[in-house]
Amino acid sequence: MSFGCGTGLATLKMLKKLKDETGGAPTVILLDQDPLSLAAAQSLAKKWNLEDKIEVHCERLFSKLGKPLSLEGVLGDRKAGYRGRFWLAGIFARWRL
């Protein structure tokens, strides 16, 4: 999961390298509030044949008062990662899952 991913360039580079070297890659959730940045991420993922490896969510990360918003709408009842742990990029120190 990448919070505030923007165009997702760093995450997509990592996925591409992993897929090229091992033949596989996990699915990554890209989360940002800018739809144009997410469109660029989707375009790059398609160019690199990674469109089946990303899930895009256009959501605000914080309320107007600066409180982190819930991730329930993004995650639902899924468990992800290794042994129930999430691999996070751009993580916030006090994020509540």
User: Residue 78 — pLDDT band, cuts 50, 70, 90?
Assistant: low
**Which structure tokens are listed for 63?**
């309320």
Average pLDDT of the segment spanning 60-83:
69
Average pLDDT of the segment spanning 89-94:
42
**Which structure tokens are listed for 38?**
């997410």
First to last CA, the chain: 12
15 in the Ramachandran plot: left (φ > 0), alpha (ψ -120 to 50) or beta?
alpha
Sketch the domain layout of the chain as residue ranges: 2-75
pTM of the shown model:
0.73
2-6, 25-29, 61-65: the lowest-pLDDT one: 61-65
**Which structure tokens are listed for 44?**
């790059």
| C-alpha torsion 18→19→23→27, nearest 10 | 100
